[in-house]
Amino acid sequence: MRAAFTLAEVLITLGIIGVVAAMTMPTLLNKTRNKELHTAFLKTYSELNQVAGLFKADYGVSVSEYMSGQISNPNTGNGLKSDAAKLLFSYYKGAKNLTKSGMGTDDGEGNFVAYYQMNNLNGSNYSGGANSGGKNSSFLCDNSAFTNNQSGALMILNDAPLQGQNGPVICVDVNGKKGPNRYGIDYFMFIFTVDGIVIPVGQQHKNNPAGCNSSSGSCNNFNNVGAEYCSNTASDISKNTSCAYYALTNSHPTKTGKDYWKDFLEEVYSR
């Protein structure tokens, strides 16, 4: 007689393997996705700084200095002229505007339709509510058309800065309309600076504008600094605005010795 496994033993072994795979597969998938998003994030940041440098070389002033004279509504001190946005995005080869203006388009019946749905870092649905274009605004940045680049990222600008302030803020979905479409995971905010570079929203700088503390997302030029503005529990959208800083430094917003792209996002996914 030759020793062999019985059918029952084989089935039990396969069952154990299946259980272990089911338990570990989500973690492996999350790690792979996080790595891809981290790479896309760093590429986005590098490209933004290249654009900022080229712009200053061409015009002799920083993007912030140039944009401070491009306010579309001087009476309220906000907005951004469309020609100024087009000029900035022209530095991206092959860039294409995907919406007529702002966050979405008209549905043909006069109603505002958001270009796509965005969610808070905690996974809850975010809507800025009614605005001048209608309703269902999903984005803090709303003063240019959504524009894509050859890397597949989607970019949109917020208000022009006041004289002497950093700005404008640019919001970027680093992997385009592909999910998860959540602030702080694939959707981040950066800001052009007076001295000609780009920093993540959340980083200290002497020319930073005031912070945004509106849960509705109705914010002009802003830069929130502090761990409270990268919260994975809050449904207040202003509490998701500084995650780019922690993503760039790969540091956990509140826990020393923990990182962003593994430890912090694991906490996010486990909620």
pLDDT at 77: 64
pLDDT at 83: 92
CB 202 within 8 A of CB 225: yes
Q: Is the pLDDT of residue 94 over 70?
A: yes
Q: Is the pLDDT of residue 135 over 50?
A: no
CB 134 within 8 A of CB 111: yes
**What per-residue string of b and e applies to 29-57 under the rule 16 or more CB within 10 Å gives b?**
ebeebbeebbebbeebbebbbebbbebbe
Structure confidence at residue 30 as a pLDDT band (50, 70, 90): low
Which residues, 6 or more positions from 211, have their beta carbon under 8 angstroms from its beta carbon? Answer: 222, 223, 224, 225, 229, 238, 241
pLDDT at 3: 63
pLDDT at 133: 46
For 167-202, how does the pLDDT look when each residue is reduced to its tens digit (9 = 90+)? Answer: 999 999 999 999 899 999 999 999 999 999 999 999
More confident residue, 176 or 28: 176
